[in-house]
Amino acid sequence: MNKKMIDWPTFIGALVLLLAVTVPLVLFPEAGKEIVSQANAFMTGNFGALYMIMGLVIFVFLLFVAFSKNGRIKLGDEGEKPEFGTFSWAAMLFAAGIGSSILYWAVIEWAYYYQGPPFGITPESKEAIQWATAYGIFHWGPVAWAIYILPALPIAYFYYVRKKPVLKVSEAVRPVLGKTVDGPIGNLIDILFMFGLLGGAGTTLALGAPMIAHGINDLTGLDVTLGLQAGVMVLCAVIFAISSYSGLRRGIKVLSDINIWLALFLLAFIFILGPTRFIMETTFNSLGILLDNFFKMATWMEPFGNLAQFEETQFPESWTIFYWAWWLVYAPFVGLFVARISRGRTIRQMILGTMIYGTIGCILFFGIMGNFGLYMQLTGQFDVVSFMDTNGAPATIIEIINQLPLAKFMVLVFTILAIIFLATTFDSSSYILASVVQKTVEGEPLRWNRLFWAFALSIMPMVLMFLGGLDTLQTASIVGGFPLIFIMFLLAWSFIKASNTDIRASDDYEPPTIHIKRWKRKNKKRSALEVMQEKDRDDK
């Protein structure tokens, strides 16, 4: 009976697609790399604008929904209180959507912008510093969180308003595609989503594993070998296998609680014992730059960059477009998760809460950790840039943490935090992947199914890491995530269609005033006396 619960076309389809991409890469790594990098250049080069437009359109659309009648819809019954308090809700949301990559990029992203700034600015100049502090926040800010929250709209709506639990992305587009979702198109939508998520998580692992390995190297002196990195992956897999075995509530909740407190401790420590005033002023200052230039940043495509007389930086392709694509592949997954924890909130609270709390969380990480590194650089206490040139980013990140008081202890905290962050992302990803390939889920997805996807999530990047093709997998995921742009559009449409239909049908619906007037006038029965009086008036 277990077997009957599985949606085999989706299960096998996702597996086949994954094998179809990874096996040739394993067999022909060089040729495979070449093809994928060409595909990547083609996509980001030709369709980059599409990603940028998507980000901005989703942002504006969600603000519009939040303040419209649809935004006032409650996810649940009247009088129902939110299932989780706001702090827990925000913490779970953050833990699900954000993984170890924030520790990586918050510490080091500024150094890339400092050396390769946008808008034709001179590298390492005063202006470059200003942009370096603001751009990270932009890439982890409101547009990014808007991409995350869009799929949660239809999913949460079906869960708590129409009371039809949605486990699949394909189910969430039923109002638009109708019965078509029961056929291969529905399977294809789910497969594309799963493929995107596997690729997105591969990127997370590709960044996280070497950073954790360098942390372990710093603490124990073990060499950072491929073996150590593979060990890190196995360790994370074991943690999330255990937590996945013990069930969603206990596993994910315990880990995300530890996660949030440890993260707050780390941030508070750096803020108080680090350059407090510099951090405060620089973060505040970068908020101003961000607000002032929001649309400029959200639309900057470097259109003249490829003309011979100008130097092309590839900044939009390497950063903004890459980021939007990366947030995109995670979005349906986060949507499925956020929808589940948002019972009792209104759509508006869910949208604004995610955008505001998500952004604030990221600002804390980037503002505190990033500006600490920048301070080291600018005061000459630690030359981050030249250290990074020779030792690479992961080692530099650990070295920056090493500049703190109680250095070894802080590296330990940082490394543990990175491991938990990685494990929670993997834990919830495998949970969602397993749900998507099941027809029905009673309580929780089947254990073997969850473990299978937990395994698939780590085994593929591991094989590729040994072959040195992990970059290729990341790129493949970005390329593979391309169809999700259209799925996002379907998701938005579905939500609007379903909620508008229900709003219209609901009891308190009042036709627009103009209708009422016409209706009244047309149907008004006048007495003979009234008709005569009117005629009199007209004659006069």
Residues that bind ligand NM2 (CB under 6 A): 98-102, 204, 326-327, 330, 425
Task: Round to whole Å and give the CA distance between 115 and 124.
Answer: 6
Q: Which is nearer to ligand NM2, 347 or 422 (CB)?
A: 422
Q: Which is nearer to ligand NM2, 128 or 401 (CB)?
A: 401
Q: What DSSP assignment string belongs to 81-145?
A: PPSS-HHHHHHHHHHHH--THHHHHHHHHHHHHHHS-STTPPTTSHHHHHHHHHHHHHHTSHHHH
Shortest distance, CB of residue 99 to ligand NM2, whole angstroms? 3
- Say if residue 457 is exposed, middle or buried (CB neighbours under 10 Å; 0-12, 13-18, 19+): buried
Other C-beta atoms closer than 10 Å to the C-beta of 1 total 4
- Say if residue 250 is exposed, middle or buried (CB neighbours under 10 Å; 0-12, 13-18, 19+): exposed
Q: What distance lies between CA 238 and its chain's CA centroid?
A: 24
Q: Name residue, tokens 């901005």.
A: 56
Q: Which residues pair with 346 in a beta bridge?
A: 74
Q: Which is nearer to ligand NM2, 326 or 357 (CB)?
A: 326
Shortest distance, CB of residue 312 to ligand NM2, whole angstroms? 25
Shortest distance, CB of residue 101 to ligand NM2, whole angstroms? 3
Query: From the DSSP assignment, how many helices (H) and strands (E) are in the chain?
Result: 25, 0
What secondary structure letter does DSSP report for 438?
B
Query: Which residue type sits at 481?
Result: G
Shortest distance, CB of residue 244 to ligand NM2, whole angstroms? 18
Q: Which is nearer to ligand NM2, 75 or 232 (CB)?
A: 232
By the 8 A CB rule, do 126 and 343 touch? Answer: no
Which own/partner contact pairs does 139-142 have at CB distance under 8 Å and 24+ positions apart? Answer: 139/109, 139/319, 139/320, 139/323, 140/102, 140/105, 140/359, 140/362, 140/365, 140/366, 141/290, 141/359, 141/362, 141/363, 142/59, 142/355, 142/359
Q: Which is nearer to ligand NM2, 61 or 421 (CB)?
A: 421
Shortest distance, CB of residue 92 to ligand NM2, whole angstroms? 15
Task: Round to whole Å and give the CA distance between 470 and 480.
Answer: 15
Shortest distance, CB of residue 485 to ligand NM2, whole angstroms? 15
Shortest distance, CB of residue 419 to ligand NM2, whole angstroms? 13
Angle 365-366-372 from CA coordinates, rounded to 5°: 95
Q: Which is nearer to ligand NM2, 425 or 472 (CB)?
A: 425
Shortest distance, CB of residue 55 to ligand NM2, whole angstroms? 13
CB hemisphere CA count around 243 (13 angstroms): 27
Q: Which is nearer to ligand NM2, 98 or 128 (CB)?
A: 98
Q: Which is nearer to ligand NM2, 159 or 421 (CB)?
A: 421
Coil, helix or strand for 382? coil
Q: Which is nearer to ligand NM2, 99 or 199 (CB)?
A: 99
Shortest distance, CB of residue 462 to ligand NM2, whole angstroms? 17
Shortest distance, CB of residue 500 to ligand NM2, whole angstroms? 30
| Token reading at 20 | 């179809």
| Token reading at 447 | 């254990």
Q: Which residues pair with 438 in a beta bridge?
A: 6
Q: Which is nearer to ligand NM2, 98 or 388 (CB)?
A: 98
Q: Which is nearer to ligand NM2, 159 or 330 (CB)?
A: 330
> Which residue number is nearest to ligand NM2 in terms of Cβ?
99
Shortest distance, CB of residue 96 to ligand NM2, whole angstroms? 9
